[in-house]
Every structure is written in structure tokens, then in C-alpha cells.
Chains A and B, each alone.
Chain A
């Protein structure tokens, strides 16, 4: 992705307010991130953001699960990769589908008579079997799709039974085993830190940061039962601290996406402030690179 002035490109995740914003302020940001799942059901979205490059994001490949998506889904992802000319494909280190045991459960609307489809990404147990599966599947997709694949850290909301090591170790092992990059979601990372009780600023140093190509920034909702993903509110300050470190320590960082896409309306002034916060956070490392 070409960005004027050097440094990582700044993008926004697609939401209904975005086409209007592009018309009003075409130079406010560099690209649009669009979920594959949205394009599947509303292909017209692509035309509405035609003025901007597109980064394709995906939550359907279930790369950490034992049940692969249907061949139709994989074909459609491949097609949208070509159509959008995305520079890479982002996908979560998670599962969405799982084998349907004989629970007496009835079919659901998403996949009647087929494996469970949760309709949301779920963090898997971190163990050798999972890492090997993700590495093998990603290697296969990289070849099949002919674009780089970035694997995103999903948020950890509870300790997943069957885990043998940490998410950090899982990503280190994955990067050793497969030709993938990392999509580092700072909100997810912070949520995991809150759930498991580790220091996010220290833990980040242990990640294979040279493999980080893209970063996600979004809100976090603090509730009685912990911290939760929230794409409808501004990012907490800790994310900007993490971003400062990441911008300095991730030599291959190409893009930062602000994901404020749950609400059909996000106050424009607030959005501009969020973009400014991100720019301020990465400014020192940008200057350093330009010297």
C-alpha cells in the first residue's frame, strides 16, 4: 500500500457512515478495511468506497478449528481477494465452526444440518496441535490465495481448557512454523491482559514483533465481569501506549486500522480525534525512520 509521507498507512473499518466521510474528507485516511462477511451479503459496499484501496478482513476461515469452512466459502474468499486487490488477507487465530456432537440440538439458520457455526470468532486452546493446525492451514491458504496472510490475536475472555502455553508463545511458534504475518489487535491484546492478569506493556516485548504488518485499534468496554471488545467507543489510553511501543519495535508495520464499525454512526469529531491520537502515538517512530 502506497502512503505519502512514509510510515504505516491509516485505515478505517467499513461502517455505514464511511462513504459519506470519504466524500466529505477524502484525505482523512488511506484505506478501508472491509470484512469478507459483509461483502458476501452486500457486494455494493465496494462501490461505495471505490475511491479508497481496500484491505480484506475475514472471520470465516476458522483456521484454529478442526472443521474447515465449506469449499464455497473458500472460493468466495479467493474471489474477493482478486476483486478487492487486497494487499493481504487478515484472519483470526480462532475457530468459528466446530463439529456438531450428538446433542439432540436442532439445526440452526446459518448451517442447517452442518457443523456448528457460532457466527463469531472464538479463541482456541493454545497447544501444539492447534498451532500445527493453524500453521498448516495458513501455509495452504497463502499458496492458494497468492497473497500474504496475517493472523490476528483474538481476545481471551476466559482461560480456554486444554491450553498448554500462552497466546504469546502460540504466535511465536506459529511464526516459526508458517509463512504468516501478524495482525496485532491492541484492544484484544489488552482484554487478554485484563482477563489473565499479565502486564501488556511487558508482554508485548515477547511477541515476534518483526512479523507484525498491521495493527487494529478499537474500544474496550469495562463491565462487572471484565473487559470486552467494543467497536463503538474510543480506544483506552493503554492502547496508545502499546501503539507507541509497537510503532517503534515493529519494523515491518504497514498499516493501522481503526475499527469503529459496530454502530452505524460514529461521531465524526470523535473519529478525527481518534485518528489524531493514533498519529501522535506513531509520530516519534515515523520521525526516526525518516532520518
Chain B
């Protein structure tokens, strides 16, 4: 027989999302539904529900400490603006749902966190929410380009000056292009060095995150021309001409050849000749997205 006491009620609240919902609606009925006595129900009903919910958020936060290695600036800034506790309190139900499903994979949990936090911050009408959202997206891009990858396609032409519309470019690393409401770099630098941060002035900016195969680490730069957009379409299969048509709808690739030449000179791509056998999809990998 199960004995229902205060510890069982608190544990159920902190672990079982279905019970949490019932308890939030009516602590008394929730306790009685577990077979708790009327005295226990009365006693437990006096609990400070706001603090209990926030405690659930603290547990969720601590159980996400693994994020510190990937999102240190975001977490630091969330704390600075007192947004961490509300965020993780809101995340608790989702987190416990994953836990019940037995989801342990760190990458899966990071993805859930990123999606949830981005939406939470987008909706939060609180000071610092925009800045935290910028840092979250910035560190998420860094995470993506820092993921290990296999180079599935190899180029065989190291002579960029011989690039033609039929040449097939191959990425030599990971690339991620994202549209931000403002550049995250000044903010990231300030938070990283512990300096005071000025409010961000919105100015839509495309940022490219690049991590080359030579292992020199991720680089970030503002996109000022079409090159990164063209590179995100590089998949190791399509030719320069096909990529130009796909990205720009322009049929003549000639005006864009120089972008590919520059990218090759920078070591971002190489080429394989169209005659070579198709290596299959993708090389380093690239993505484009927008921070709303």
C-alpha cells in the first residue's frame, strides 16, 4: 500500500507533469485524488504555489547545466536580466515530458531548449529579452558549425581561376547563415568580457558562421554580398550555374563566378570537375535561417 505524505506530494509535483497540472488547478483536489487525507490536503493547500513552481524551474535549470559549455553568454545574460528562472520554470513541463519519454540525448535536449527559449524570449515583454534572443541564436549558430562533420565529397580542382558555370563546388567546412534583428557581435563581445552592455538597436543583419575543415575554429562575419547565400546552396552535387539560378533566379552565372573564386581563395570551397562521378549529397553542410 502506498502512503501519501508531504514528500510524496512534493515529489509528484516536481516529477509528474500531469499531477502538476492538477495541483496547480486545485491543490486540495489533487491531494485527495492521490488518496491523501483531508488534513494533508488542507496542510498542503497552504503552500506558496508561485515559489513551488519556481523551485521546479530551479531544478530544471540545474538539470540543464550542460548548456554552459555551449551557451555561456546566453545563460549569463539571462541571469543578468533575471530571465533564467522564468524561462526554466516555463520549460519544466516540456523537460519533464522528455524525461518521462526517456530522452537523454544531449543534442536532442539542446534543440528542444533552443526552440523553446527562442519562442519564450520572442514573446517575453521584458527588458533584455531581445538581447538574450540574439545571444541564443548566435551561440546556436556557433554550435552548429562546431559540430563534427565528415567531408563526404572531395574536390579535385585546386585552380579557382578555372572555375566555370559547370564546375561543382564542394564546401570545406560548415557554414550557417542567419538573419538577425541586429548584429549579435558587439553584445557577445561585451558579455564575454564582462563589460556593461548598451541596449541593442534593431538593424536587420545577415551573419555568416564558418568553420573550416582545417580546424582553425569558427569565424563569424556580417554578410555584405551574396557569397554566403551562394555557399549555403553548395551541396557537392550542383554546379555553379545551378546554384546561381537557385539562389538568384538569374540564368547567367558569369557575374557571380568571382564570388566562387574568392571563396575558393579563402579556402571555403574547392571544386570537382563535372566529369567526376557524383559523390552523393552534401559536403560540410550549410544552413540558412532567420531569428524572428
Contacts and interface: CB of A to CB of B under 8 A. Distances in A.
A143 to B, nearest CB: 25
B72 A221 contact: no
A122 B51 contact: no
A95 B100 CA distance: 20
* Smallest CB-CB A-B distances: 3 pairs: A98-B11, A105-B16, A116-B11
Contacts of B72: 263-265
Interface string B66-98: 001100100100010010111000000000100
B4 A101 contact: yes
Contacts of A225: 50-51, 54, 85
Nearest to A110: B99
A65 interface: yes
A101 B84 CA distance: 32
B52 interface: yes
B43 interface: yes
Contact of A158 (B55, B69, B100): B55
Nearest to A162: B6
Interface string A96-126: 0111111111111110000111111010110
A225 B55 CA distance: 10
B140 interface: no
Given A158-B48, A225-B54, A103 B18 contact: yes
A224 interface: yes
A221 B85 contact: yes
A223 interface: yes
Contact of B19 (A105, A108, A230): A105
A159 interface: yes
A274 interface: no
Given A106-B100, A225-B51, A265-B68, A117 B15 contact: yes
13 contacts: A64-B7, A99-B5, A100-B12, A103-B18, A116-B11, A120-B59, A122-B7, A157-B55, A161-B44, A223-B54, A232-B75, A232-B79, A262-B65
A16 B44 CA distance: 40
Contacts of A65: 7
Contact of B6 (A102, A157, A161, A265): A161
Contact of B85 (A119, A124, A228, A233): A228
Given A105-B18, A116-B16, A195-B51, 10 more contacts: A16-B69, A66-B3, A100-B11, A101-B36, A106-B100, A119-B63, A120-B62, A159-B47, A161-B6, A232-B79
B11 A122 contact: yes
B274 interface: no
Contacts of B3: 66, 99
B230 interface: no
B46 A116 contact: no
Given A226-B51, A233-B79, A105 B43 contact: no
Contacts of B226: none
Contacts of B68: 232, 262-265
Given A125-B6, A233-B79, A263-B68, A116 B85 contact: no
Contacts of A66: 3, 5, 7-8
A266 to B, nearest CB: 10
A237 B142 CA distance: 36
Contact of B63 (A95, A120, A221, A222): A120
A289 B186 CA distance: 51
B281 interface: no
Interface string A240-275: 000000000000000000000011110100000000
Nearest to A116: B11
Name, among A102, A115, A223, A226, the residue most crowded by chain B CB atoms within 10 Å (CB to CB): A223
A158 B34 contact: no
A160 interface: yes
Interface in B1-32: 2-12, 14-16, 18-19
A103 B104 CA distance: 24
B200 interface: no
Contacts of A118: 11, 14-15, 59
